Amino acid sequence: MRRIDYIISELKDQYLIEDNFRPWIIGFSGGKDSTALLQLVWYAILEINPEDRKRPVYVVCNDTMVENPIIKDYVSDVLTKIERSAVSHGLPIYVKNTIPRLEDTFWTNVIGRGYPVPNNTFRWCTDKLKIKPTSRFINEQVTEKGEAIILIGTRSSESATRARSMKKHATRGKRISKHPYHNNTYVYPPIRDLHLEEVWYIINKMPSPWGADNSKLFQIYFDALADDYECPTMATDDSHRSCGQSRFGCWTCTVIKEDKSLSAQVDKGQLWLKPLKDLREKMYKDRNDPDNRMPTRRNGQIAINADGENRGSYKIEYRAKLLEQLLLAQKQMQNFNPNIELITNQELVAIQVVWYRDLLFSYNVSEIYSRVYEKELDVRKDDKKFQRDQREINLLKMVCQETPSDFNLIQDLLKLQKNKALLNRKRGLKDDIERVIEQYIN
């Protein structure tokens, strides 16, 4: 198609511009637009003489750690093929995976800190799960190379809002424009003028240059389609309506009332995803239940609405209940695939750390895990250290036989100190210790 050939030609021209070979960064989600964009970039670089392929291209994929499992597995497989194919063809294309820091993950914040699950007015997840991890990589490149260019797969035809946004940030007469938030960073939208059907033409008609089976991507969109019409086998005509209207994201997303893509996948036979669908719907329903919320936010600010209902952080009772529900969902899904992990052991440890920091010693993550899985949660890395700790605990019990409350106090203080050290943040430790002692005295 003429427009696709023009984009490839434009990409070649832009790649060869002498600008100190500013690295290209492509945000790759594995979806239709980022796949089409990367394919065109790949075809363009293949047409360039090997000695002129001096500009590095980074394919950056951000894993929020709460992705739809089907998409996550598919993307992981594709990234492996991209990496191997780039090496075998001698292309300067490099795969980079980013994830949120432990203190920023979804479950550390919701179950650990008691953040209410996101909605339109408190959409804290986008910054912590998506923007921060990718921004760190971009900043690293800018620090090292001086400047960077981000290739985005946004298209004007997606929506009127998207078209207005792209026009607002575009520089008249130029392909690239300054990034609105990152210094020394530029934005380049090569597929801005493509229509949906042309995107599917690239995916279905043009072979994947890294050897992926693009029919799998088409099938994923088909299975996630909530409407009654069928997807065409080949999207080559504007009269064809394709599967491209499906939307994928975090399975935990409560900004939307219903995750139609997830519901459609379950309705079309992916029954093993039902625990995710059910838990997401329950989190959405329970979000504004005042019985689950405290009268204050984490910063101490009063959070009570005009009807006298609590609108603060989640109570510890609800956090513990939600952790149990999450582990039950994970256990159900592991019957289908033992490798599925909805929450990592590191996050479980981080949640317990946060609870101790909040002086919530009455709930134990290991006990909740044991209740669900009927086995101990083993996060120990050093059995000798564990045995030494057990000897110290037994000795402390002997010393405090006549005053068991002293044993509990010392244990709580030790937990507080050790868990402050776990995340290398001891700020506020003195105040926390004083609060624990004050509670004990009173």
How many other C-beta atoms lie within 10 A of the C-beta of residue 145?
Answer: 14
Name the pLDDT band for 167 (thresholds 50, 70, 90): low
Distance separating alpha carbons of residues 398 and 400, to the nearest angstrom: 5
Distance separating alpha carbons of residues 58 and 94, to the nearest angstrom: 5
Q: Are 57 and 89 in contact (CB under 8 A)?
A: no
Q: Are 203 and 190 in contact (CB under 8 A)?
A: no
**Closest C-alpha among 262, 213, 226 to residue 30:** 213
Q: Span 120-142, mean pLDDT?
A: 93
All domains of the chain in start order, with CATH:
2-220 (3.40.50.620), 288-373 (no CATH), 383-441 (no CATH)
Q: Span 124-142, mean pLDDT?
A: 94
Helices and strands (H, E) in the chain, number of each type? 17, 6
Phi/psi at 116 (nearest 5 deg)?
-65, 145
Q: pLDDT: is 83 or 228 the higher one? A: 83
pTM of the complete model: 0.80
The amino acid that residue 313 corresponds to is S
Kindly report, residue by residue over 187-204, the tens digit of the pLDDT: 999 999 999 999 999 999
Q: Strands (DSSP E) along 67-153, which ranges?
A: 93-98, 148-151
Distance separating alpha carbons of residues 400 and 394, to the nearest angstrom: 10
Kindly report, residue by residue over 253-309, the tens digit of the pLDDT: 999 998 988 999 999 999 999 999 999 999 999 999 999 999 999 988 999 999 999
**Closest C-alpha among 392, 436, 440 to residue 417:** 436
Kindly report, residue by residue over 12-52, the tens digit of the pLDDT: 999 999 888 999 999 999 999 999 999 999 999 999 999 99
